[in-house]
Structure 1
Amino acid sequence: MKIPITAEIRTYALSVAQVGERMRITGNKFGDVTKQRFSNLGDFKRVKAEYETLLGEFESQKETLENLTAPTQLRDEHEKLIQGYGKYVEATAIALHSLDAEKATADEESFDQGLKLQGEASKEIVKVSNDIAAKLGLI
C-alpha cells in the first residue's frame, strides 16, 4: 500500500539514503584494501588496521541508522533495516577477526563465512530498501 510522502517521511528517506551512500563508499574502500598486495608482516598489519578503521565506519553508520526516528508507517521496515545492517556489520567483523596480524595468517574458513554472511545481509538490506521504496510509490 502506497503511503503519502510527508515532510517527515522525506526527511527520513533522505537520512536513510545518506547512510546507504556512506555504506557504499565504505564498501568500496574495503574492496580497494582487499586488492592491495602485501609481501611482509608490516604490510599485513597495515591492511588489518585499515580494515579495522573501515569496520569502525560501518559501526558508526549502523549507529546513525539506529538513532533515526522512523515515521510510524515505516517502523517495521526500519527495524528490519537495522537488523540487516547489524548482520552486515557482524559479518564484516567475523571476516576481519579471521586475520591474525601478528602471524600474518588468516583463518580462511572464518573469512569465507564472514563474506558469505555479508552477502546474505546485503540481500536483506536491499529487500527492505526496496520494500520502503515500494511503500513510497518510488518503484
Structure 2
Amino acid sequence: MNDLVKQLASKDPLYVRCIKPNENKSSAEFDLERVEHQVRYLGLLENVRVRRAGFAYRVSYERFLQRYKLLSQKTWPNPRYGSPRDNTMLILKELGLAHDCEQGRTKIFIKSPQTVFTLEQLRSERMSYVIIFLQKVRY
C-alpha cells in the first residue's frame, strides 16, 4: 500500500471531464441546454477562473483540516484553535507552506502542485504514527 501511495504521489494528476452533447450519442446533434447544464454542474467555469489566476489546487477549509490535521500537534487529534480556517493556516505556517497559499472565504487556494505533493508526502509519513496511536487506544 505504501508503494502505491508513493507512486501516486510522484505523478502529476490530470482529470478528464467528458461532456455529452446529446442523448442520442450522435456527432451531428448538439443540445446547448444539456451542455450548459453539464458545464455548470461540473463547475468548469469556476475551475477555469481559478486556474487562470494561477492556483493548482483549491479545497474547503473543513476538508483540508480533516485530511491534514494529523500534521500538527496543535490540530491532532482534534483541532483546538478557533475555526477550520484558523487551523488550516496554523498547519500551513508550521510547515512553512503558507507563502504558496491564498485564503478565500470558504476555501484555501494553493498555487504550486509541489506544495500539495509535499502535504501528501508528509501525511503518508505521519500515517504510521496515527495507525499505531489508534491501535494503542483500541486496546
Same fold (TM over 0.5): no
Shorter chain as denominator, the TM-score bin is: 0.3 to 0.5
Q: TM-score, normalised by structure 2?
A: 0.32
Structure with a larger share of its residues in strand = 2
Q: TM-score, normalised by structure 1?
A: 0.32
Bigger radius of gyration among the two: 2
